[in-house]
Structure 1
């Protein structure tokens, strides 16, 4: 794909990265076959190829509008499109750059900014979200049907295995999942126990930062990622093999995001993690 990004943008690391990604796209459209929003809506602008064109136009100097935000917001960042792209287009990273640039050039309305801020202040923090979820369940009958049916039912949490194993794996325990579906990690621990692997949680770890990152709050997201790395580091040095990802929010490209703004605490010497193992719910 031919690009004409302004020199001022090409002088930045993000601009150079966006230019490389845009030039790797060959417009083939294979991505549309695996894009859930395109399959559901049938709108080219709700496909990865369409969003690439919207981002390209914006980065080249065209003024973005509310339609640009609508179609970029609809992307789930599931990255299914990347699995079918013959050119290896790094779509999710281009989307990150596009969303940050869009928020810079076209700030959201005050009501949307307030809603996003409220979500970022509540959902990543189990102690804040738990009483609100309990309140919602208590008054579920008074809620609109569309919202009532989205409330996760209360779960009984099975006991964690007490047997220790030489092989250990880390689980993320600090996100909204620990409140909405608290049995998930415990059930995963029982499965891994049968395989001779001990699942452990780091008490100081928290939200992975995905929500803040998707809302273009990049610095906030990186701070959450750094905190988790520091919380996990002692276990990693003691031989923890991987992270068991049992939710859909954890980003597979955290190292790349952090390396773009490297500033870990002095206790964390590197980012040489063993691969994550994903368990789909």
Structure 2
């Protein structure tokens, strides 16, 4: 599960980059009820999406040369410089070297061996997001990758991630958790890009999932707001009801109405 008791390698930040930040703010306000608070004039338009005063994500305006609109997941690092060096040693790429962010912490944008961008956040005054796993907040992450073994090896070397497997009727799902935290701290999965028909022709990428109270109603609302439904709602046994969407500018994400926990046995 995701938690604000951040440990090394755990997700601790999430942001969407959009060419039209005001439009993105309107979309996510209508979809999830998020408010938006600017980080101030010195932050270049950067700001925080909030629910009841708690930060659930961030948003920034991006230029065409910064890549397509997308969500970027960040992971906890105790030493941003050391993590960036580990990325290079593991044959990844440092896209933006570590930098101090107004005394709030240090960040860097990196890429794995397949070229998929991700961020790291070394906390200073700001530890990370304020809430997870409530409706309107991040509840899961998936990496769609052409080579699961290579991705698992890379992130084990860089962030210490451990993997475990869940068997389903149509295959095996690879889950990840922070080093030494156990399977109870699973926060995401690694998915073979070629195995998902929704992702046909897609480049590898990170997909954030947001918890919702009603998947079908959220999908209908996304359509009304100009979003795209990439995968219609479907039920996954013991997981919940999911759907894949994109905002009006093309940033991809998913929503999940989690299945209730199984009753205790014995």
- TM class by shorter chain equals under 0.3
When normalised by structure 1's length, the TM-score is 0.24
Higher strand residue share: 2
Higher helix residue share: 1
Max Rg structure: 1
RCO higher in structure (CA 8 A, sep ≥6):
2
When normalised by structure 2's length, the TM-score is 0.24
